[in-house]
Amino acid sequence: MIIGNTRWDVLTADITRCTVEAIVNAANSSLLGGGGVDGAIHRAAGPELLAECRSLGGCPTGEARMTRGYNLPAAHVIHTVGPIWRGGGAGEHDLLANCYRSSLGLVRDHALRSIAFPAISTGIYGFPKDQASLVAASAVRDELAAFPNSFDLILFICFDEDSADIYSRAVEELLG
Ligand code: AR6
């Protein structure tokens, strides 16, 4: 998809291998590492990432914090904390949308142009992928409308083909 100057794509890949300016980490509120994509990012970045994360003092759900990328191909990591799925009535959709907005806000604040997102909250945190993909796509669509030409490349990186199909369909649906 091309929207203004922005290419927006869904890929099946390992986000730790992505050469973009910033990759997003689906972290927890301690920012001190964990399993899933968080564990993979910390392993690939090396121990200096954890040392920098310790200095941040955590992050509330829906917000985001930026660090360097150390041994990653990406120069920066944006750590955001997705909501734990509790059935959908606990503000999960808004909190997940905030993760995408906060992350894109940091990209803009630092004048970066390219970012790769994982499927935040859809692993250990249990958010249903069909709903999470629509939240993600609508949040990005709204940011692109509000801040046109602020980004060159936005990637949704899925770990398997089935997820990539779900996120691709959501992007297509949201863009009509
Ligand atoms: N590249 C891209 N996507 C990946 C990768 C990877 N290397 N590894 C996993 N995924 P999860 P959450 C996908 O569980 O649900 C951690 O312990 C995975 O298939 O990583 O937000 C944190 O510390 C799934 O679709 O994150 C938190 O405690 C997606 O990434 C908690 O897990 C997100 O799955 C956060 O849970």
**Site of tokens 């630092």:** 110
Helices 47-54, 36-45: inter-axial angle, 10-degree rounding: 110
- For ligand 1, whether the C-beta of 83 sits within 6 Å is no
Pocket test for ligand 1, best of 11, 24, 84, 159 (most atoms within 8 A of CB): 159
- The residue type found at 125 is Y
How many Å apart are CA 172 and CA 44, to the nearest integer?
32
Q: Phi and psi at residue 75, in whole multiples of 5°?
A: -70, -25
What's the predicted TM-score (pTM) here?
Answer: 0.98
- For ligand 1, whether the C-beta of 14 sits within 6 Å is yes
Pairing of strands 76-81, 22-27: parallel
- For ligand 1, whether the C-beta of 119 sits within 6 Å is yes
**Interface confidence: ipTM more than 0.95:** yes
Which residues, listed in sequence order, are joined to residue 64 by a DSSP beta bridge? Answer: 80
Q: Phi and psi at residue 63, in whole multiples of 5°?
A: -100, 180
Q: What is the pLDDT of residue 50?
A: 98
Query: pLDDT 10s digit of each residue in the chain, 176 long?
Result: 999 999 999 999 999 999 999 999 999 999 999 999 999 999 999 999 999 999 999 999 999 999 999 999 999 999 999 999 999 999 999 999 999 999 999 999 999 999 999 999 999 999 999 999 999 999 999 999 999 999 999 999 999 999 999 999 999 999 87
**Site of tokens 């990005």:** 140
Token pair in block for residue 174: 């949201």
Atom 9, ligand 1: which residue's CA is nearest? 37
Q: How far is the CA of 160 from the centre of ligand 1 (A)?
A: 12
Pairing of strands 114-117, 64-68: unpaired
Q: What is the pLDDT of residue 103?
A: 98
- For ligand 1, whether the C-beta of 135 sits within 6 Å is no
How many Å apart are CA 4 and CA 144, to the nearest integer?
9
* Architecture field, domain 1-175: 3-Layer(aba) Sandwich (3.40)
